[in-house]
Structure 1
């Protein structure tokens, strides 16, 4: 069982390092989840985030178009009521 040192350092157990492919000098991130925290190699985390974000431009454009339609509809309705 790993122990936190006075400097708040922890040695990652060999089994975990091997399972995650972590080597000396690698950077890791701690990702908060509903269940707690997960340790991931930084490279893996960045690849995952790039994959998640690949459609952001399309999504932003879709939101803009939706807002424009909503505003146009609201303006039309306001014009009809007057």
Structure 2
């Protein structure tokens, strides 16, 4: 993955990286030089959100335990 530097010294952070770091317009980032590599991090130090954390709450509340047990047992109301 590569990108060009503009005449103003700006680059576009690829969408996959913005999504991984949960970067939104106005987010601050930090560049570090470590072991001959440049590392891009969130300036606030927040860790990247995992894909599982992003999915939490998207399926709705779901059935209660009692409703689920009735369904699995085939109990009719």
Q: Report TM bin, short chain.
A: 0.5 to 0.7
Query: Which residue of structure 1 lines up, in the alignment, with residue 17 of structure 2?
Result: 16
Shift of 1:21: 1.0
CA RMSD of aligned residues (A): 1.8
TM-score scaled by length of structure 2: 0.54
Dislocated runs of 4+, deviation >2 Å: none
Query: Which residue of structure 1 lines up, in the alignment, with residue 29 of structure 2?
Result: 28
Flag structure 1 segments of 5+ consecutive residues without an equivalent. Answer: 48-82
Query: Which residue of structure 2 lines up, in the alignment, with residue 41 of structure 1?
Result: 42
Match of 2:38, SS state, is strand
Q: How does 1:55-74 map to 2 (within 5 A)?
A: none
Flag structure 2 segments of 5+ consecutive residues without an equivalent. Answer: 48-77
* Greater RCO (CA < 8 Å, at least 6 residues apart): 2
* Structure number, greater radius of gyration: 1
Q: Please identify which structure carries the higher helix content.
A: 1
TM-score scaled by length of structure 1: 0.51
Query: Which residue of structure 1 lines up, in the alignment, with residue 4 of structure 2?
Result: 3
Query: Which residue of structure 2 lines up, in the alignment, with residue 74 of structure 1?
Result: none
